[in-house]
Amino acid sequence: MDNVDDVIDAYSRLIRSAIDAQLGDTDNTFNNTVGIQLTKNKLLVWLNEPSTLILNIDLKNKLEQIISSVLYPAFVVKHKPGLTLIPRLEQPPESARALAFDLHFGIYERLRISSLKDTNVFSNGAKLAIALMDDYYWIPSLSPHVAIQSTTRGGKTTFLRYLAINCHSYSMLSVKNGALDDESNPLVIIDPKLDPDLRTTTLELDGIYIYPDFTKSENSFIDSVCLQLKSVIDLMQRRALRKKKQPNAKFKDVFVFIDEGISIPAMGNTNTKTIHFRLLDRLLLMGASFQIHIVMASQSFLAGTNGALSSQARLEFGVKVLLASRINTENAQFLFKELDKDAINNLILDEDNYGTLGVGIITNGDGNIVPFKAPFVGELR
Ligand SMILES: Nc1ncnc2c1ncn2[C@@H]1O[C@H](COP(=O)(O)OP(=O)(O)OP(=O)(O)O)[C@@H](O)[C@H]1O
Ligand SMILES: [Mg+2]
């Protein structure tokens, strides 16, 4: 099928029969009590006559389950927690509302990069956007902070390297577009694991690289992390002063990357841990107005005393990524608390030539959760 309209027609018929078969039970008067309208980026479902069905969350879940698999691979059904109704004002009362499902036409294809020059920063109107998949973007000026969770070997550090390359280029482009260049280094990378690839990428981008000195005590690393975060807060304060005179000023974007987030507070004592959390809180709560971003990867985003950050701070991540070939309520509980079992089962993770490498789920802050495939990062050295 080459024509979008043909695809839409064919899939409309498929949904029609799947819904009739799945929701109809034994009641053969059911057919056509449900109306549907499929377009390139939306599916509307409404009731045509007073019926035993109501447009509630149960029906939404049932329909989402049906359409997620029936529409694959022609469309991706974006998951939005809760109920989204659209008014149909010109219709009689029984049909005056429709359930709305946002769709993406085609599956999201994985990006591939093989060199530091392979950047994916685009202009989206007046805003700059970093592509995370083909036709799927992160807009740092709208969703300033990023959280990435996976178990060990899940692809966190590799994804951080991809982001570091693109954040660097984002920052340069924002200056070109008029952001004030106060000579700050756009990249700060905090790497408790001293990952050789992350180190190489950081140094090639001339970023600030903070790493543990294994000949010194564990406390000395958390001290150096806190010192670095403090200097970013000082920058934020200098920018705040400047904003008093130039209220509309936009500054060069600064991205603070933290790998293995949960391991850092674990290295400190109660005192250093408190300081670390407080610094993170300030950056996550206030940084956005001064073009300061946090990009944090961690095996866990548990909040509180034994966790990676405070529960308040965790709420500040607009972009959230869970890299896992199987999503369950256990691994989704920190970043995607809103996902229940039904919703998780409706998110279809697909594989490509790279298998389950770096697959999972993502939200870029637009309110939707979709399946994710991290960019494939080839030999960068
Ligand atoms: N997007 C990717 N592109 C290419 N290779 C990848 C990608 N993601 C993961 N890999 C491969 O998987 C390995 C583990 O990935 P990575 O080091 O990024 O995971 P991690 O979550 O940081 O693991 P760790 O817990 O060991 O720090 C990498 O060395 C690389 O070979
Ligand atoms: Mg790692």
- Per-residue pLDDT band for 52 (boundaries 50, 70, 90) equals confident
- Count Cα neighbours of 218 within 13 Å in the Cβ-side half-sphere: 10
pLDDT at 26 over 80: no
Closest residue (by CA) to atom 8 of ligand 1?
155
- Per-residue pLDDT band for 110 (boundaries 50, 70, 90) equals very high
pLDDT mean over 351-367: 95
pLDDT digits (tens, 9 = 90+) for 266-300: 998 999 999 999 999 999 999 999 999 999 999 99
pLDDT mean over 58-63: 94
Question: How high is the pLDDT of residue 28?
Answer: 52
pLDDT at 25 over 70: no
- Note whether 4-105 and 112-377 share their fold: no
Give 151 Cα–ligand 2 centroid separation in angstroms.
Answer: 9
- Per-residue pLDDT band for 135 (boundaries 50, 70, 90) equals very high
Question: How high is the pLDDT of residue 49?
Answer: 82
Question: How high is the pLDDT of residue 32?
Answer: 66
Question: How high is the pLDDT of residue 21?
Answer: 87
Mutate to test the pocket of ligand 1, among 114, 118, 153 (most ligand atoms within 8 A of CB): 153
Give 162 Cα–ligand 2 centroid separation in angstroms.
Answer: 13
Give 260 Cα–ligand 2 centroid separation in angstroms.
Answer: 7
Give 259 Cα–ligand 2 centroid separation in angstroms.
Answer: 7
pLDDT digits (tens, 9 = 90+) for 316-346: 999 999 999 999 999 999 999 999 988 998 8
CATH 3.40.50.300 fits 112-377, yes or no: yes
Architecture of domain 4-105: Alpha-Beta Complex (3.90)
Cβ of 192 below 6 Å from ligand 1: no
Q: State how far the Cα of 278 lies from the Cα of 271, in Å rounded to an integer.
A: 11
pLDDT at 381 over 80: no
Per domain, the residue ranges of the chain are 4-105, 112-377
Ligand 1 atom with the smallest distance to the CA of 161 is: 18
Q: State how far the Cα of 365 lies from the Cα of 144, in Å rounded to an integer.
A: 9
Cis peptide before 375 (omega within 30 of 0): no
- Count Cα neighbours of 327 within 13 Å in the Cβ-side half-sphere: 31
pLDDT at 30 over 70: no
pLDDT at 248 over 70: yes
Ligand 1 atom with the smallest distance to the CA of 159 is: 1
